Structure 1
Amino acid sequence: MGHVTSGEVTYVENGRSITVFCDFHGDYGYSFLSKAAISSLTSLDYVCQYKQEAMVRVLRPGGIQRESVLKQLHRYQAVYSLSFFLNRYDGYNAPLNRLQPYLYLAFLPISMANVKGTVQGYSANGVDFNFTSSDGNPNSYFVFFAGNQGFSISRLLNSSMINGWITAAQDITTDRYLPATTQKNKGYFMPFEVHFGGSGGLITSNTITHVEGAAVGCRFDKDT
């Protein structure tokens, strides 16, 4: 197959037009979900079939975009896949903010995350960012809010672990940039909530200034 240019693609699902940004990397790529797509989709079964990783792109001040490939911690990669949900979180802990529509990216299920003394967290660009659960608080998720409503709960429990996916994010060339608007119901970059354990940390995006929004992409192979 010849070179394929990254860019926006629109397909029809259940009679609705869905726009995603396909970012190609040789024989695989990532479908970044627009806010409009998250608002229109009823399921992620088609667009998020590959459950071993997710790509998260951050928008920094000045329009700079960087990205991190998120996976389970290395110790769990053979045991647990990631889970992707729309407006629900089956088997995982509820987000503090439930501002629909939202995409919920889940790591450890409650049955594992509520065990005190376990090592938990995530991998970003091959680096494990982890903590030891001291209280069994079973949060283990990223949530991306497509509607841009104001947060009902704003909180920052800062740690190097909870910021790891931002600090480890890698530069990309501008030809792969997503449309950078953060306007309501437009573009790809969304407010977010990231919460791990009680002792892992918590971010709601309105409490930090070094990131203006985040976008999420699901991996695909070109032959799927």
Structure 2
Amino acid sequence: MNQIKIIILLISLVLASSVILFLCLNPLCTEVEVFCPDPSYKFKTQTCCSVVWWSLGAGLGVGNECVINMDEMRSNCPMYDCYFKQTGEWNSNGCSYVPEMLLNENSCDIHDLCYITPGATKDSCDTSFVENIGRIYCNNVHFVEYLACRSRASIAGSVVQGFSSFWDESEGTRKSCNIINSWFSFKYLLLSSILAVFSVLFCRNQSRKNKIF
């Protein structure tokens, strides 16, 4: 009888361990649209959140359980030479003004890059920062976590808006920063030109119709 109890206990432990490993090792992925470092653009990617943290993350103040593949940003956003260190790593240092564990590391890195992006404004960088935390992390967890995450994202937004030192220090970098994927700029310039031509033709056509009547 005791042997049967031991066998049942061992089987239960194995099953419980398997479930825990499954939850730890299999993230839940969702397609999202995230702001580029240049907040004029967005890119689609997948955010993958650990299923274990799906119910524990925000409540514990751990925001890095939801991540995106930053290489997809590299392929789908305007890239500048100042975005990279000599080692090839991203020229960012995560969440500087608030504890990184309270937010989302990817969002903080994109925010750092936004501050050195030519043409970007501090307001647009700070606004897209809060939005990215929501899109990568807050929107992909249950309601209680969502509220806690959103609250911290809002506080983080207020904190970065209140600091201008890093933005001011980055002015020299912004001025000397050059785009490196010129095809990206050309693609959008071509698209803008085509839309402009169609707009002119449409307006002329409407003008002719009005003259006839």
Structure index of larger Rg:
2
TM over 0.5: no
Structure-1-length-normalised TM-score: 0.27
Please, what TM-score do these two structures have when normalized by structure 2? Answer: 0.28
RCO greater where, 1 or 2, for CA within 8 Å and sep 6 or more? 1
**Higher relative helix content:** 2
Higher strand share: 1
